[in-house]
Amino acid sequence: MTKRALILGITGQDGSYLAEFLLGKGYEVHGIIRRASTFNTHRIDHLYQDPHEDAPRMILHYGELSDGVRLLRLLYDIQPDEVYNLAAQSHVRVSFDEPVFTGDVTGLGASRLLEAVRMSGVHCRYYQASTSELYGATPPPQDEDTPFHPRSPYGAAKLYAYWMTRNYREAYDMYAVNGILFNHESPRRGETFVTRKITRAVARIKAGTEHEVYLGNLDAIRDWGYAPEFVEGMWRMLQADTPEDYVLATGQPCSVQEFVQKAFEHAGLDWQDHVRFDERYLRPSEVDALVGDPGKAERELGWKARVHSGELARIMVDADIAALAHEGGAWIDQAVVPQWPTLRSVTP
Ligand code: NDP
Ligand code: GDR
């Protein structure tokens, strides 16, 4: 029997890798996308299957975490075996600007989805994208038993979603689990997260189109892994015999400054010539250090991170240099090239 998965957040970094991974395993993959005035599916366009083809295995539906009625309808119609809730307002700094919206989508959104699963009566396994941001001010190493102390509206919203997931497991005997994932990055990482911001800047500085990049706190320590490896861990959590929460991490600390250094060095550049400070990238309350202990996932799921920060920086710099070269080529090849100079800098 073909298994059916439903992914919320399929257009994001993790959703795109998870969709690829599940299609590779023979799943029928359903994804929920948001209506936007511009196309927002660039990370999954290569997976698109024409709905007019016979039995497409990737099917997209419009939906929103803020619309519980729509979620219930989709659950009922799709009847998935596995539901992955990867959707969120996922930017920590932005959550300080939009705390209420973040609470609604990132926190209450999970609650709406869990309730839709319960009310639909569909027997499925549920994955909640929880985060190392739950630990916040609690010092590392952090594992499944470490107390939580979130330091942002995002972290607080995810904490609510974490407990709602556990509550549905305990109250309704649902197979509902939290993956407590530490930072994981890739060439598909959103452009405003620090690793991608750095590697994109390195590519542009190397190409000579930019000279500097403005960053905030360089002292923060993170545990940076590689996103394609982490989505496999999500899937493994839903294949286990019993529903439990797991930390996924590399266990290796790396400061923002060290990541900067590795990325610039890989391109033959000295970071100190190009990195400037801008206080607007500081957070009202910072999370100083997150370093996970992934021992439980290694022992019980057979999952282990292989790519660490140094290789990750190299993968991302190489990809951004290649993307820039491709972008340059595609730009020149266009029949009609707009003449006003600013357009080039706003083209992603
Ligand atoms: P992204 O920000 O790349 O993707 C977020 C996804 O959520 C996008 O598909 C986005 O759609 C969708 N989304 C946002 N708001 C809504 C909404 N109101 N209704 C429906 N969908 C919505 O995140 P990542 O892929 O990096 O992360 C995936 C999940 O894992 C997130 O929940 C994140 O908080 C969590 N997480 C991420 C970690 C990481 O290091 N990457 C670590 C730990 C947890 P659109 O494309 O239309 O904006
Ligand atoms: P984070 O990722 O907050 O850990 O959340 P981000 O890349 O935004 O920040 C990491 C660290 O870098 C510092 N920093 C900067 N950050 C950004 N974005 N831009 C800058 O210019 C900059 N300069 C320094 C930050 O202060 C921070 O300490 C990510 C998200 O994917 C969450 O959804 C996820 O839950 C966590 O990782 C685990």
Average pLDDT, the chain: 93
User: Rounded to an integer, what distance in angstroms lies between the CA atom of residue 189 and that of residue 227?
Assistant: 9
pLDDT value at position 48? Answer: 86
pLDDT value at position 55? Answer: 85
Asked whether 316 and 225 are in contact (CB, 8 A), the reply is: no
Cβ partners under 8 Å of residue 170, min gap 6 = none
Q: Please check the confidence at residue 17 and state whether its pLDDT lies above 50.
A: yes
Q: Which of 278, 280, 263, 135 is nearest to 213 (CA)?
A: 278
Q: Please check the confidence at residue 36 and state whether its pLDDT lies above 90.
A: yes
Ligand nearest to the CA of 248: 1
User: Rounded to an integer, what distance in angstroms lies between the CA atom of residue 269 and that of residue 216?
Assistant: 20
Query: pLDDT tens digits for 101-138?
Result: 999 999 999 999 999 999 999 999 999 999 999 999 99
Q: Please check the confidence at residue 348 and state whether its pLDDT lies above 70.
A: no
CATH superfamily of 4-347: NAD(P)-binding Rossmann-like Domain (3.40.50.720)
Identify which has the larger pLDDT, 342 or 75.
75
User: Rounded to an integer, what distance in angstroms lies between the CA atom of residue 142 and that of residue 251?
Assistant: 9
Provide the terminal-to-terminal Cα distance of the chain, rounded to the nearest Å.
Answer: 41
Query: pLDDT tens digits for 169-220?
Result: 999 999 999 999 999 999 999 999 999 999 999 999 999 999 999 999 999 9
Ligand nearest to the CA of 89: 1
Q: Please check the confidence at residue 86 and state whether its pLDDT lies above 80.
A: yes
Q: How far is the CA of 183 from the centre of ligand 2 (A)?
A: 9
Q: Which of 95, 121, 123, 117 is nearest to 164 (CA)?
A: 117
120 lines ligand 2 (CB under 6 A): no
> Which residues, listed in sequence order, are joined to residue 257 by a DSSP beta bridge?
none
Q: Please check the confidence at residue 329 and state whether its pLDDT lies above 70.
A: no
Assigned token pair, 41: 């599916």
Instruction: With cut-offs at 50, 70 and 90, classify the pLDDT of residue 346.
Output: very low
Strands 246-248 and 213-215, bridge-based pairing: unpaired
Assigned token pair, 13: 């970094």
Average pLDDT (286-300) is: 98
Average pLDDT (160-168) is: 98
* Nearest alpha carbon, ligand 2 atom 36: 183
Instruction: With cut-offs at 50, 70 and 90, classify the pLDDT of residue 343.
Output: very low
Task: For the chain, give the longest Cα–Cα distance.
Answer: 61
Q: How far is the CA of 281 from the centre of ligand 2 (A)?
A: 9
User: Rounded to an integer, what distance in angstroms lies between the CA atom of residue 137 and that of residue 121?
Assistant: 39
User: Rounded to an integer, what distance in angstroms lies between the CA atom of residue 319 and that of residue 307?
Assistant: 15
Q: Please check the confidence at residue 328 and state whether its pLDDT lies above 70.
A: no
Q: Please check the confidence at residue 341 and state whether its pLDDT lies above 90.
A: no
* Nearest alpha carbon, ligand 1 atom 15: 88
Strands 275-277 and 225-226, bridge-based pairing: unpaired
Q: Is the ipTM of this complex over 0.85?
A: yes
3-state SS, residue 13: helix
